[in-house]
Structure 1
Amino acid sequence: MRKEFTRTLRYLLPYKRLLAGAFVCMFLFALFNTLSLSALRPLINKGIEEGNLFLLKLLCIAIIVLYALKGLAYYGQRVFMAKAGEKAVMDIRNELFQHIQFLPLEFFTRKKTGHLIARITSDVGMMKDILTVLFSDIIREPLAIAGIIILLFKIHWGMALVSLTVFVLAVYPIRKFGEKIKRISKSRQKRRANVFSVIQESISGIQVIKAFSRERERAEKFRKEQEHAYRLTMKIVRTRALSQPAMEFLGAIFFALLLWWGGNLVIHKKLDPGGFFNFIFALGALYRPVRLVNQANARIQEALAGSVRVFEILDQYPRLKEPEDAIELPPFQKEIKYVNVSFAYEKEKVLENINLTIKKGEKLAIVGPSGVGKTTLVNLLPRFYDPTSGHIEIDGLDIRKVTLKSLREQIGLVAQETFLFHDTVRNNIAFGKPDASEEEIIQAAKAAFAHDFIMKLPQGYDTIIGERGTKLSGGEKQRIAIARAILKNPPILILDEATASLDSESEYLVEKALEKLMEERTVLVIAHRLSTVRNADRIIYLKEGKILEEGTHEELLKKNGEYARLYRLQVGEKEEVTSLSSEK
């Protein structure tokens, strides 16, 4: 945990001036605290016992002034540290969010969305205790403790030495309580992440939940996760609650013994009454900073559990890296080549020795059973993943040697599951080209056959379409996505099951929009319904990660192979296959 602790503190380094201000205020707090306690001895011995009213009045005023200055120092330290801590937390959260954005897609297949939300919100929030409580209590209070100890030794070194020894011994149980809280906190954060995950899944999948009448079951799952988190929280509460009275009880025993010892010293004239009263009062004042250090230690142990989970994500570096000498990809001119490309998810082989050339302007359809690697094949082109072996070239350039930005700027994607942001129609269409003019946005929408339905929305292009576009139908969402691709105007286009989940009317409109989108572009089309790819320039049939068949629709039907069999099952054109076979 020491590594995470030190690493967290580094986020405070950019705010040295605020830290310096906080340190000055902490020092002044300890100084004024010690001086206010030091005034008690002369107040009793000189002011009260000797009846010096002027000195009594002067010392009372001094105590008031010192406490006011102490309060101002405390205020300044809290404000300086809060400002530095909040800024550091904001930096950590920004860094974590940005880092997650650049992690490869395979990372998101392994992690639940709710868990990632918990890391960014709850875990980073806990780290604030390291950045603020540390300086507020772990540094300020020991300074106050040091001032009080100096005062105690000045009054009576014997009692001070014994008192200090007892406080040192008290560190051991404090440490044990802290270690226990740290262990429980780590488990609790995992449970809280599960709670976030259930919330995220239940809100995102509310339609499915309602369709299957599973509301009560989801509520029960949420209740159970909450219950687990609650139990762990109560363990922390009980540990904290036990630590304070346990330390107070031990302190009370020691205090009683100290009273007996000090009282004897006063009776035998070895210590003046003012000194004894001052010692007892100062020792009582020592309890508060020690208690705060104990509590701060517990809170920091909790916060360290959060920091471990945050750094676990930050230490996962993207596998897809640009070389230092990466170049800009020139505008696409000739061809795309897959050269001996293989790919595996961990140990599961998905693609094997793919060799494929796609000419500029060609419409290539990729078909085959589910799970044979169709989507993986096209996802390698924009480098969502890198091949396990082999490479991909665009106009003879290995795409790993060009910048990701210049590569992806030349590729458009329209997927089966359209993702739209909780924003206006205009901003969703212009997502790939934020500086697009109003005229360009409208022209793109018209080309996608989306303009008419957009104008019927309550605020037209300024209508907020809801999270993931929930206010739109499937066909409308898909046409917005197509308009987005048209506006981006990429020379290479990937269509991944773009019409798979639409009704006939929506499919007709979307296909018209896609025809417009595909004009004068190089297109890679994935489709389960073979009737949608019969007009492609070329079709490849994938099976078990390999290209099994290749050709035009008519050529593949004549072969009477896997493609023909699948087509016959889907479309029922057995006669066509038979007649073509006889011609062969």
Structure 2
Amino acid sequence: MRELKPWLDLIFKRPGRLVVGGFLILATLLSGIALLAVSGWFITETALVGLLLAAGVAATINLYVPGGAIRFFAVSRTVFRYLERVYNHDTVLRLLTDIRVALFRRLSQASRIRRGELSGAQWLSRLTSDVDALDTLYLRLIAPAALAGLVTLAVVVLAAVLFDVGTALLVGLLLVIALLIATVGVYLRTWRLSARQSDRQEDLRTAVIEHIEGFPELTAAGRTGKHAAWLMRQAHQVTSEQAKADTRVGWHLAGSHLLVNLSAVVALWAGFALFQAGTVSGPVLVLLPIALLGLAEVYAMLPDAFGKLGATLASASRLNRDCREDKQPGTPKAAGLPPETALLAENISVKHSGYAPLFTRFNLEIESGERVGILGHSGSGKSSLADVLAGLLRHAHGSLARTDCVYLTQKTVLFEDTLRANLLLGSPEASDTELWGILEQMELAERFATEPDQLDTWLGSAGSRLSGGEARRVALARVLLNPAPLVILDEPFTGLDAETRGRVSKRMETLLEGKTVISLAHGSEALPGTDRVIYLSG
């Protein structure tokens, strides 16, 4: 269960909401049980009075107190059920927010290599199904199990008060066994199967996404039908395993219900002996067995939740493994930099895990305000070097120190949001005037001024509503808005024709004034103005 610890710590950071939510669930359960018990008592009492009156024996009955109690518990059960659903679902959404924020914080602290270990489909599974498996821990698992134990204890105490201690102990034993069957028993019978099922569902989900993404290639290779048939076989295996797990859960649910009903029979049998001895009245005799039957509703929600606990543990294990933070800080510190120096790299080695080093004993010193260009052909390691200088990739050896930087990666990254939201990532405090100003420098102001929503224009998924050159200029504008003194630009003019590139490069001179610039490209024509150029070979 240690896989759940970091996520349980997040959940229990809201103890007040958890207590209130638990109270609402408890009130709902007790109102339901009380409604059944009082109704059974009232029906039995009226039946006995009717028989006495039919036999000519004088008898009376108070209709108002039990009638009022029935109405009260019926209304309270409905009210508490409504409040519990609204309040606890709001709590779950808040817990989900906490989990996702913690998850994204972990990912932001992880290296690019760590994030690149999984495919996009696998990350989608982490951020959706695995997170969803955690957000119901409180509502489906913790609260119902704890309250089921509490309600069981209350019913056993009621049995001791109304009947005797012996009956209460026997009923309590049956209920404890039923509770263990509905919780621990289900978990022990299903956790391996559920965990394996969770892994297979992720594999199937990933395969389906990759099938959709690679459909043109599969079609060209004539493998569409065969791959689809393979997916169907995998899906059939997953559903077969799920049916097996559901069968086990169903048997445990039936077993717990059987024991709950048996406890009601035991209470009724013991009650008859007490009734014959004149210890309890007929209505009280019926009250306890009916209250015990009400526990079936309490226990009914447990087997399904514990049947999925194995999958929840598997999800938590995957998140802990793949979304852990790097132990060492990823950002090179500026401490120890010589005066008027923006970046100092001494004898650094750059390599990817499992591959030979791209660079060894690489040295670079850049003065504040200097503009350095780095040229190299594809595969020479430009982007890897830029990742190291920006702090996204760790250098294997040597030392690296620099001032704060902003980094334009080789791949254009735009979010499915508005133009304004994408630009404000570079400078959250920027005004509309500043945003229009930077768009003017990137020759995009006229393009968006004609849009009905202007700065609030929706860019689409990954900037799909823009051309490649427009998307690149939006990403470049976002970087240039950032006040960081060191700017790293990897292929800044990708997708721009020569004429547009020349004009934008000239406009950037003013925007980059006073800043230190490191720009990387295949050829000198793709670099903004530089003071010196470094050539990479390899």
Q: Give the TM bin, normalised by the shorter chain.
A: 0.7 to 0.9
Q: Which amino acid in the other structure matches residue 344 of structure 1? A: K
- Tell me the distance in 1 between the aligned counterparts of 2:457 and 2:10: 44
3-state SS of 1:423 partner? coil
Residues 447/292 of structure 1: CA separation in 2 closer, same or farther (3 Å cut): closer
Question: 1:166-565 to 2 correspondence within 5 Å?
Answer: 166-171=174-179, 173-174=181-182, 175-194=184-203, 197=206, 226-227=235-236, 229-248=238-257, 274=283, 276-298=285-307, 300=309, 302-312=311-321, 315-317=324-326, 319-320=328-329, 333-334=340-341, 336-348=343-355, 349-360=357-368, 362-392=370-400, 398-399=401-402, 407-408=404-405, 411-413=406-408, 415-454=409-448, 461-488=455-482, 492-499=486-493, 502=495, 506-517=497-508, 520=513, 522-529=516-523, 538-543=532-537
Matched with 2:171 is 163
Matched with 1:106 is 113
- Tell me the distance in 1 between the aligned counterparts of 2:488 and 2:214: 27
Matched with 1:395 is none
Deviations 1:18-39 (A, max 9, x none): 6147437726853884596378
Residues 181/259 of structure 1: CA separation in 2 closer, same or farther (3 Å cut): same
Matched with 1:61 is 67
CA contact (8 A) 1:495 1:524 kept: yes
Question: What are structure 1's unaligned runs of at least 5 residues?
Answer: 393-397, 545-584
Aligned length: 525
Match among 151, 157, 174 for residue 150 of structure 1? 157
3-state SS of 1:4 partner? helix
TM-fit CA distance, 1:376: 1.8
CA contact (8 A) 1:41 1:274 kept: yes
Q: Which amino acid in the other structure matches residue 325 of structure 2? A: Q
- Tell me the distance in 1 between the aligned counterparts of 2:446 and 2:42: 89
> Taking CA–CA contacts closer than 8 Å with sequence separation of 6 or more, which of the two structures ends up with the larger relative contact order?
2
Q: Which amino acid in the other structure matches residue 475 of structure 2? A: A
- Tell me the distance in 1 between the aligned counterparts of 2:432 and 2:177: 73
Q: Which amino acid in the other structure matches residue 393 of structure 2? A: Y
- Tell me the distance in 2 between the aligned counterparts of 1:207 and 1:419: 24
Q: Which amino acid in the other structure matches residue 251 of structure 2? A: L
Deviations 1:278-329 (A, max 9, x none): 4543443343333344444435555444444444456434632679xx7799
TM-fit CA distance, 1:109: 0.9
TM-fit CA distance, 1:354: 0.7
Match among 120, 130, 134 for residue 127 of structure 1? 134
TM-fit CA distance, 1:469: 1.9
Residues 183/289 of structure 1: CA separation in 2 closer, same or farther (3 Å cut): same
Residues 26/485 of structure 1: CA separation in 2 closer, same or farther (3 Å cut): closer
- Tell me the distance in 2 between the aligned counterparts of 1:464 and 1:131: 37
Matched with 1:582 is none
Residues 120/335 of structure 1: CA separation in 2 closer, same or farther (3 Å cut): closer
- Tell me the distance in 2 between the aligned counterparts of 1:518 and 1:213: 52
TM-fit CA distance, 1:352: 1.2
Q: Which amino acid in the other structure matches residue 501 of structure 2? A: V
Matched with 1:557 is none
Residues 308/378 of structure 1: CA separation in 2 closer, same or farther (3 Å cut): closer
TM-fit CA distance, 1:419: 1.9
Question: 1:30-45 to 2 correspondence within 5 Å?
Answer: 30=30, 33=33, 37=37, 44=44
Residues 463/219 of structure 1: CA separation in 2 closer, same or farther (3 Å cut): farther
Deviations 1:394-441 (A, max 9, x none): xxxx33xx6xxxx02xx452x442222333445544541243344443
- Tell me the distance in 2 between the aligned counterparts of 1:457 and 1:21: 48
Q: Which amino acid in the other structure matches residue 285 of structure 1? A: G
Q: Which amino acid in the other structure matches residue 390 of structure 1? A: G
CA contact (8 A) 1:425 1:465 kept: yes
3-state SS of 2:386 partner? helix
CA contact (8 A) 2:407 2:487 kept: yes
- Tell me the distance in 2 between the aligned counterparts of 1:293 and 1:283: 17
Residues 466/56 of structure 1: CA separation in 2 closer, same or farther (3 Å cut): same
Residues 451/160 of structure 1: CA separation in 2 closer, same or farther (3 Å cut): closer
TM-fit CA distance, 1:47: 4.3
Q: Percent of counterpart pairs with the same letter?
A: 22
- Tell me the distance in 2 between the aligned counterparts of 1:24 and 1:464: 42
Residues 303/533 of structure 1: CA separation in 2 closer, same or farther (3 Å cut): closer
Matched with 1:4 is 4
Q: Say whether 1:139 aligns with 2:146.
A: yes
Matched with 1:558 is none
> Which stretch shifts more, 332-341 or 210-219?
210-219
Q: Which amino acid in the other structure matches residue 435 of structure 2? A: I
- Tell me the distance in 1 between the aligned counterparts of 2:474 and 2:225: 35
Q: Which amino acid in the other structure matches residue 391 of structure 2? A: R
User: TM-score when scaled to structure 1?
Assistant: 0.73
Residues 278/210 of structure 1: CA separation in 2 closer, same or farther (3 Å cut): same
Matched with 1:19 is 19
Q: Which amino acid in the other structure matches residue 125 of structure 1? A: D
3-state SS of 1:67 partner? helix
- Tell me the distance in 2 between the aligned counterparts of 1:499 and 1:32: 68
Q: Which amino acid in the other structure matches residue 387 of structure 2? A: N
- Tell me the distance in 1 between the aligned counterparts of 2:308 and 2:236: 22
Q: Which amino acid in the other structure matches residue 442 of structure 2? A: A
Residues 307/334 of structure 1: CA separation in 2 closer, same or farther (3 Å cut): closer
Q: Say whether 1:118 aligns with 2:109.
A: no
3-state SS of 1:142 partner? helix
CA contact (8 A) 1:104 1:319 kept: no
Residues 191/319 of structure 1: CA separation in 2 closer, same or farther (3 Å cut): farther
- Tell me the distance in 2 between the aligned counterparts of 1:49 and 1:312: 70
3-state SS of 1:526 partner? strand
TM-fit CA distance, 1:108: 1.2
Q: Which amino acid in the other structure matches residue 510 of structure 1? A: R
Match among 104, 117, 142 for residue 97 of structure 1? 104
